[in-house]
Every structure is written in C-alpha cells, then in structure tokens.
Amino acid sequence: MDIYLIIFMLLLLVGSVVTYIYYLNDKSTQLSTITSGICPSCNDSSIEMIDQRGAGCGPKLVTFRCTNCGYENSFSINTGSCGI
C-alpha cells in the first residue's frame, strides 16, 4: 500500500472524528442552554418544546423551538431508567 494513501486516510479519519466531537460538544452546549429556557440563537427566554417522540424506554427525540427568532433544533435525550 502507498504510504501517502495511508497518511491521507489517517488524516480523513482524524478529521471526521474531530468534527464529530465538536458537533457533540456543540449539541450538548445548546441543550444545556435550552433546558434552562434560553434560546442559544437570540438569548431570549422564549424556548418551547414543540415535539416529543419515542415515549417509554430508551432515548427520546425532543424538538424545541424559539417563538422569538424561529430557532428550531431536535435533541436525543436519554431518559435513563426504564420501569418494567
């Protein structure tokens, strides 16, 4: 195998991992802002939960929307314990 090809693939892998970690960090920062009722886009306290999917066990998909600037984002929230 060509050494340059290996280096290229390694760079590609590292790049995608870094992007993924950055994306996750960004998401969790936004979520913590939203759960305290603040819009991460306009910093107004006008966040509303508009949709909630996946009731019961496992993570659920919750969609939040800002009534002030129209910011909208979905988050996968782990509900934790599951009653049998």
Site residues, Zn ion (CB under 5 A): 39, 41-42, 66, 68-69, 71
For the chain, the maximum distance between any two Cα atoms, rounded to a whole number of angstroms, is 56
Q: Is the CA virtual torsion 52, 53, 56, 58 positive or negative?
A: negative
Q: In what order do the strands lie in the sheet with 47-53?
A: 47-53, 59-66, 72-78
Residue with smaller CB distance to Zn ion, 39 or 62: 39
Minimum CB–partner distance for residue 38 and Zn ion (Å):
9
Residue with smaller CB distance to Zn ion, 23 or 72: 72
Residue with smaller CB distance to Zn ion, 49 or 57: 49
Minimum CB–partner distance for residue 51 and Zn ion (Å):
17
Minimum CB–partner distance for residue 64 and Zn ion (Å):
10
∠ CA 77-80-21 to the nearest 5 degrees? 45
